[in-house]
Structure 1
Amino acid sequence: MIPIGGQVTTDSNEAQVPSLTWKLDFDRGKVVGKTDGFDAVKQAAYKILQTDRFAYLIYDANYGSEMAGLIGKSPLLVESELHRQIREALIEDDRIHDVSDMTISIEGDVASVVFTVVSIFGNFEGEVTTYV
């Protein structure tokens, strides 16, 4: 995600990315203004989990998730890997401190995951559904 406005500041040796960014309407496939703070982090979390890691040159190797690689794997492996992959994908964003209270349910070839994202702007519930 390319932030707009503000400057990248450094604290110690760690860069802090500004939170102000384009607000996306995923249903209509349009940019509908700008968003910041809590809503920007919620949008970022959604976008991170919807983007396949390594699939797009615009993103570095730390952006996105690898859930597509779980298709056809055993349910026990899927559950363990979903927990790890979702947490690792989201905490790459420096505004997200933790992912907790994860509940995974697998029915047939679909896994549904509900979790709490702990961010610098507050906590929110995340949800992702993927084929396995």
Structure 2
Amino acid sequence: MIPAIAKDGPVTSSLGGSANASSVSPSLTYRMDFERKRIAGRTDGLEAVKQAALKVLQTGRFEHLIYSSDYGTEWNLVLGQDRLLARPELRRLISEALLQDERIQEVTDVEILFNGDTVSFSCTAVTYYGNFELRKEGIAGV
């Protein structure tokens, strides 16, 4: 490729777009209809990131060979542990899983509640496209 030459020398930055947009991978993907278990068109931006985050939370880490070893959560390893130990471990496991997606900048407002035999996790994902809330529930055991 021949570099473009401007009045002040070679052009080294891409034309158009901001620094944030050029450092983030495109997010255009297939829209998954989770209720009907089928593909229903395409989605982009914040909706695509939401879908990816939900999919990460629903996928067990190391369960499917198609995904890398960094994909998914190890939610089941923590369930059944003492609640004082489970709370910070769940926070760490889920935050690490979500932050594998370069479009997610931060996981904030993490709340872990135990109610009887269930545990519920909620947080806010801060992305380049905006923020959204996530929730996951499971059997706590102990």
Query: When the two structures are superposed, what TM-score results if normalisation uses the length of structure 2?
Result: 0.79
SS of equivalent to 2:89 = helix
Structure 1 residue ranges (4+ consecutive) displaced by more than 3 angstroms after TM superposition: none
- 2:132 pairs, out of 117, 124, 129, with 124
SS of equivalent to 1:69 = helix
Q: Which runs of 5+ in 1 are unaligned?
A: 1-10
2:135, 2:112 → 1: CA distance?
10
Q: Which runs of 5+ in 2 are unaligned?
A: 1-18
| 2:105 is the counterpart of 1:97 | yes
AA aligned to 1:38 is L
Q: Which has the higher strand share?
A: 1
Identity %: 45
User: How far apart are 1:78 and its partner, in Å?
Assistant: 1.2
Write the deviation string for residues 66-108 of structure 1: whole angstroms up to 9, x where unpaired. 0011221111111111111111000000000110011110112
Q: 1:6 corresponds to which residue?
A: none
User: How far apart are 1:16 and its partner, in Å?
Assistant: 4.7
AA aligned to 2:86 is V
The CA RMSD over aligned residues, in Å, is 1.5
1:69, 1:108 → 2: CA distance?
19
| 2:59 is the counterpart of 1:37 | no
| 2:83 is the counterpart of 1:113 | no
Give yes or no for contact 1:68–1:131 (8 Å, CA) kept in 2.
Answer: no
AA aligned to 1:39 is E
Once structures 1 and 2 are overlaid, which stretch shifts more, 32-41 or 103-112?
103-112
| 2:72 is the counterpart of 1:64 | yes
| 2:130 is the counterpart of 1:85 | no
Query: When the two structures are superposed, what TM-score results if normalisation uses the length of structure 1?
Result: 0.85
1:123, 1:37 → 2: CA distance?
11
